[in-house]
Structure 1
Amino acid sequence: MGKNKEYGEGTMMRGVLLALQFFTIFPINKELNMNRKSVTIMFATLPWIGGAFGLITSIVWLSLDASPLFLAFTIVLIGIVLSGGLHLDGFADTSDAFFSYRNQDKRHEILADPRIGAFGTMALLFLIVGKIILLTEIITQDGMSWQWLVVIPFLARVGMVYFFIITPEARDKGLAAFFKKRFHSQALLIAIWISIATAVGFIVIVGGAVLVAITTLVALFICAHVYKLWTKKHFGGVTGDVSGAFVEGMEVVLWLLIFILL
């Protein structure tokens, strides 16, 4: 019994460390066993890492006395730094591949190329500047509150994990294909629903915004399924880069909803 408990705790810790290793800048200099349980826990942990990023951001935001523009810039910068720009890299690569207007094989070659092209650079510029402008408007209109800084990155990653589960891999090789073969779909879906319930409860109890909770939940599922169809059409399915692009795009959609509703 003690051995089983120890194994469970060890697997849980490996999954959390894997999530920190893959999705943050925190240096986890350790070779970790990527079995089905640890990979499942890794993906289940991802939204909570986004929430932790948001909590750090909210503490910094509450501590600063600065202009709305500087605050918006700081919020965006902290997210980029803590994630190591991982999702931005996926957004840039996906943009380069999509706007190349090549066939799927050529698009996968572009995704695998570590260099960034003209389309990726322009898309990255518009994304970052657009997010700063949007957050500046929200702060200016007193629509910003610390709970949104926590829940937005949390929900964006919930959506990404859900999208990753429901979308077939684009090819047999690559990081996405590797992970697709190494997680328990049912267990991960249960973890996702727990995360969604937690986020909705947080929005309703802390923010007192029932309409926002319902709207963001509906938007999350619509975006995940629409993005699934889009990636299957243009890339053949899910890859690591298009998953990262989803996180960035989903955050923008959720901030737009906050801007409109509040």
Structure 2
Amino acid sequence: MKLWKPFCIAFSIYSKIPVPQFAWKEEDMRYHLCFFPWIGIVIGLLEALWFRLVEWLGVGSLCQTLVAIALPLLVTGGFHLDGFMDTMDAFHSYQEKEKKLEILKDPHIGAFSVLMLLLYELIYGAAFAEFHSIRQIWVIGVGFALSRSLSGIAVVRFPAAKKEGMLAYFADSAQKRNVFVTLVLQAVLYAGFMIWIDGKIGVITVVVAFLSFFYYYWKSKKEFGGINGDTAGYFVSLCENVMAVAVAVCGLIFM
């Protein structure tokens, strides 16, 4: 029962999946990040189910691709892409750090966020259009959990851009050591499973995911002095996109 509440909190914050509602207490927040990757598992299972349904019904390739890239949005409600868009506005403002942090907090969207979102979805859709094997689907499906494991690790280990804000609150309320160990073990498990599914595609996709993780640390530190809730969403989106591209390119080369 002690873990049931953190599980519900994770799914309530990071997804649109209905869960029981209750008053959140600080002790209930301590381990919720441990369940953050599980939302990625749900997305991965839905992607695999959709791929099988496409094969059975003979759905056209355009419909197959559009639904595939819509599934993460339907599950998360666009939670991470919202952070991606805010971060793109800040990155492309070319202002000082404090001004960029203000842009991250601004609820309005700018031209660059819209343009970069369009570019993001075009690349993402192009990658998914090249998935022709169930092994590719399973690799990217597990990748949804890997990206969230890495994002959670960043929350409890990377420096925060500011001491206040949702991400800082989540990091402060977490049992950092236990959460860190749990997320690292999950990341190793998911990475290993991706490699087990397909050696070549899995290894390259995992390497690309970790490269995006280190790039995220460097870029956030350089631009903002650390991470926040918006950059966390940016990382999940970035990591999933580059993994999808890696799976698509590897499929063209090795399959």
TM, length-normalised to structure 2: 0.89
| 1:216 to 2:195 alignment | no
1:30 aligned partner = 22
Alpha-carbon deviation of 1:204?
4.2
Alpha-carbon deviation of 1:75?
0.8
Q: What is the letter of the counterpart of residue 34 of structure 2?
A: A
Distance, in Å, in 2 between the alignment partners of 1:76 and 1:90 is 17
| 1:75 to 2:68 alignment | yes
TM, length-normalised to structure 1: 0.87
Note the residue ranges of structure 2 that are not aligned, 5 or more in a row: none
Alpha-carbon deviation of 1:80?
0.5
Note the residue ranges of structure 1 that are not aligned, 5 or more in a row: 1-8
1:191 aligned partner = 182
SS at match of 2:152: helix
- The alpha-carbon distance between structure 1 residues 22 and 186, as it changes in their structure 2 partners (threshold 3 A), is same
Instruction: Encode CA deviations 1:81-126: one digit per residue, 9 max, x unaligned.
Output: 1101001100000001111111122112211111211111111111
1:5 aligned partner = none
Indicate conservation of the 8 Å contact 1:143/1:259, yes or no. no
2:46 aligned partner = 56
SS at match of 2:130: helix
Indicate conservation of the 8 Å contact 1:49/1:154, yes or no. yes
Instruction: Encode CA deviations 1:189-213: one digit per residue, 9 max, x unaligned.
Output: 22123212321343344x2x22333
Distance, in Å, in 1 between the alignment partners of 2:154 and 2:200 is 24
Indicate conservation of the 8 Å contact 1:96/1:120, yes or no. yes
* Aligned residue pair count: 247
- The alpha-carbon distance between structure 1 residues 217 and 133, as it changes in their structure 2 partners (threshold 3 A), is closer
1:42 aligned partner = 32
Distance, in Å, in 2 between the alignment partners of 1:63 and 1:45 is 28
Indicate conservation of the 8 Å contact 2:147/2:236, yes or no. yes
Alpha-carbon deviation of 1:79?
0.7
2:222 aligned partner = 233
1:134 aligned partner = 127
Distance, in Å, in 2 between the alignment partners of 1:39 and 1:212 is 36
- The alpha-carbon distance between structure 1 residues 53 and 134, as it changes in their structure 2 partners (threshold 3 A), is same
Indicate conservation of the 8 Å contact 2:131/2:137, yes or no. no
After alignment, is 154-163 or 13-22 more displaced? 154-163
Distance, in Å, in 2 between the alignment partners of 1:59 and 1:105 is 45
Q: What is the letter of the counterpart of residue 167 of structure 1?
A: F
Cα-Cα RMSD: 1.9
Distance, in Å, in 2 between the alignment partners of 1:56 and 1:246 is 22
